[in-house]
Amino acid sequence: MNTALFINMIDRYNKHSFTHEYIFGFAYKGNVYMTFANSGILPAILTLDKASRGAGYSLRFKPNNSIKVALLANAELICSEAYFEELFRTSKYNRGEIFEKMVTERFGQVWEKDNIPFTDDGDLTVNGIAYQIKYQKATFVTEAGLANIEK
């Protein structure tokens, strides 16, 4: 991995991010979990990956089993993976959107699909704290996306 690029992209992402608080979701041993974290954890749980469509590299939340086990220490069970996958199969939304909807509703709020950039707001605000919600395999940002923001 290109460590210098990885750290550079995390730093640039954090510089432009509206919030540094996160709710991460992941499937592990047949269940779907959520956990809260702040941006300090990003270097430990993100990966540098090739972006699609010529956008350079991307930062992604692609936790392996050891990362999932570490995140389980403070995680909360959301539902079974079978139930989650059934929701996905019968919905027009992707897994990240399904997870975001479930978390939002868990906090007694109404979910609406939106395209608000990470630079402008979080996905959910609870007790005055804005959170970005990311489910496993989520892309945080691409090199091209960062360059666009920094124009």
pTM: 0.95
- Looking at the domain assignment, is residue 15 inside a domain? yes
pLDDT of residue 53: 84
**In the prediction, which pLDDT does 85 show?**
98
Would you state the pLDDT for residue 10?
Answer: 98
pLDDT (0 to 100) of residue 136: 98
User: Which positions ≥6 away from 138 have C-beta within 8 Å?
Assistant: 60, 61, 96
pLDDT of amino acid 54: 87
Q: In what order do the strands lie in the sheet with 76-80?
A: 76-80, 31-38, 21-28, 129-135, 124-126
Q: Is residue 130 part of a domain?
A: yes
Residue 136 lies in a domain: yes
Domain hosting 119: range is: 3-144
pLDDT at 37 (0 to 100)? 97
Token couple for 124 = 């959910």
**For 60-87, what is each residue's pLDDT tens digit?**
999 999 999 999 999 999 999 999 999 9
CB atoms inside a 10 Å sphere around CB 112:
7
Domain membership of residue 151 (yes or no) is no
pLDDT of residue 129: 98
User: CA-to-CA distance for 124 and 106, rounded, in angstroms?
Assistant: 11
What pLDDT was estimated at residue 143?
96
Is 150 a domain residue? no
Alpha helices in the chain (DSSP H): 3-16, 42-45, 65-72, 81-89, 95-106, 143-149
Q: Which residues in the chain land under pLDDT 50?
A: none
Nearest CA to 35 out of 116, 99, 121, 115 is that of 99
Strands 31-38 vs 21-28: parallel, antiparallel or unpaired: antiparallel
Q: Is 100 among the domain residues?
A: yes
Dihedral, CA atoms, 58, 18, 37, 64, nearest 10 degrees? -10
Domain count of the fold of the chain: 1
